[in-house]
Amino acid sequence: MKISSSFAVARPRGAVWALFQDVPRVASCIPGTQITESLGDGRFKGRVEVKLGPIAAAFDGDAEHTTDAATFTGTITGNGRDRGAGSRAKFTTVYRLSETATGTDVAVESDISLAGAVAQFGRTGLLEEVTSRLLQQFAANLETQMVAEVDTGADVAPAPAMTQMNLGGILWASVLAWLRSLFGKVWGRTG
């Protein structure tokens, strides 16, 4: 499944690029995500914990981050497994930073493959909406991280990440947005 999204950060591209090179700091801006070990050469071990109502999953896996400073692009490839539910996830994410008059636009393209119980979320249009909302949270956390860094003049860790990414509220908001979109299409055809 391919998902594309973008968000803006009100900081210069060079500053955003520098932060993106610190993978543990960037990962801490994604709810429920933590780097558990740095293996060197852009390789990491990590954990993503997700909760959706009574369903909880904890994916342990590996990721690799490669960059091209000349084009301000980076690629993150990874895979993870939730041993409890037998679910698996594999992904490739490419990000591009573009300078704008007000800061930096970050374009994100992901190719995600899900297997096991978690794969049911990939079968609907909701995964794209949930991913979009997660990117909004990530962008807000990233902005907070960068503002704190500018204000203090030092690297500042963001507030401790949630131990799990609680998708319940995100999914509810996503369902409402999806329904609005669906009904908007229906009403647009009949009106």
* pLDDT tens, position by position, 120-178: 665 556 566 666 677 778 878 888 887 776 555 555 444 444 444 444 444 445 445 55
Position 68 scores a pLDDT of: 97
Tell me which architecture the domain covering 2-190 has in CATH: 2-Layer Sandwich (3.30)
DSSP category for residue 160: P
* Residue 18: pLDDT over 70: yes
Q: Is the pLDDT of residue 51 over 80?
A: no
Q: Would you give the DSSP letter of residue 118?
A: G
pLDDT at residue 191 greater than cutoff 90: no
- Residue 74 burial (CB < 10 Å; 0-12/13-18/19+)? buried
- The answer to whether the beta carbons of residues 51 and 164 sit under 8 Å apart is yes
C-alpha 189 chain-centroid distance: 34
Q: Which segment, 12-21, 81-90, 120-129, is predicted with the most confidence on average? A: 12-21
Residue in the structure block whose two tokens are 């996830």: 89
Is the sign of the CA dihedral 182, 183, 184, 188 positive or negative?
positive
pLDDT of residue 14: 94
